[in-house]
Amino acid sequence: MLDKNLTHALNLPAGNDVFLRADWQAPARVRTLISTRAGGVSQGAYAGLNIATHVGDQAEHVTRNRAIVQAQIPVPLAYLNQVHGNAVVAAADSLNEPLSADASVNHDGTAACAVMTADCLPVLFCDRAGTVVAAAHAGWRGLAGGVLQNTLAAMNVPAVEIMAWLGPAIGAEAFEVGQDVYDAFCTDDIKAQSAFQPIAQGKYLADIYALARLVLQREGVTQISGGQHCTVLERERFYSYRRDRQTGRMVSAIWLEN
C-alpha cells in the first residue's frame, strides 16, 4: 500500500480535479474514486492518466499513473484481467496477480474493487449497511451475459439492500450497434427494446445505461444512480476506444473504509 505522501514525494501530478466520486447516498464507510484522463504522465495516444498495462503504453508511464491513483486510496487496488465475461472474484485474491474476471467483491476493507474502462460501463455497488462493496465491468457482452446478476449474487445480501452507481460509459448518442447486440438483449426481454433506437436496417443506437438499469431492476435493485456521462463525446475528460481505438483506460474503484 502506498503512502498518502507518495504523490508529493515523487512529484506526481494529482488533484481533486483529476478524479470523480460516485454521486449517491452511500454509507459513510463506502468510498469511491473514478479516474479521468487528466493528471497523468502518459503521452501521445495515451496522453493523461492511463492505468492499463495492455494497451501499448510505456510501462514506466503506466506504473507512475497507477501510483497517482493508488496514492488516493488507503487500501491496495485489485486490478483484474478483464475478458468481457461474467466471472466474479474476491478482490483480495486479485492483488498479487490479476485474475481473469470482470467483477470483484470485498467484505472486509482489505482491498479496493477496481475495473478499467474506456466506453464499457463500470458499475459500483454497495449495500445500505456498508458491509460489502463490488465493482463490475459491463461491456455489452458482459451485460448480456449476466455479469451484473453474478455480482449481485456474490455480494450475498438481499437485492433490495443494494445500491448501484453507473459510471462513465459510451452514451446513447454515440453507441451504434448491430442486429447481434439488439438480439442479445431483446430476444428474451421485450422491455429491452426501449433502449434501442433504429437508425438503419439492422443498425441501432443503444443506451447501455438503460440496459443496465433494466437488468438491475429486474433483479430487485431499486437504488440506481449515475449514468450521465458519455466517454465518446466528452473528449477532453475521458478515454474512448470507440472514438480513438488506440487509447488509454480509466479506473473505477470502490472500497470499505475501516
Q: Are the C-beta atoms of 72 and 32 separated by less than 8 Å? A: no
How many CB atoms are closer than 10 A to CB 183? 11
Cβ contacts of 232 within 8 Å, gap of 6 or more: 119, 170, 171, 174, 175, 240, 242, 243
Which mean pLDDT values do the consecutive 10-residue runs of the chain (258 residues) have?
36 61 96 96 96 96 97 97 97 97 98 98 98 98 97 98 98 97 96 96 97 98 96 96 97 96
What is the C-alpha to C-alpha distance for residues 44 and 101, in angstroms, rounded to an integer?
A: 29
**Concatenated DSSP letters for 105-127?**
EESSSSSEEEEEESSSEEEEEEE
The pLDDT value recorded for residue 258 is 86
The pLDDT value recorded for residue 52 is 97
Closest CA to 134 of 157, 168, 160, 117: 157
The pLDDT value recorded for residue 6 is 36
The pLDDT value recorded for residue 18 is 85
What is the C-alpha to C-alpha distance for residues 40 and 24, in angstroms, rounded to an integer?
A: 26
The pLDDT value recorded for residue 157 is 97
Domain 26-170+224-256 has CATH 3.60.140.10: yes
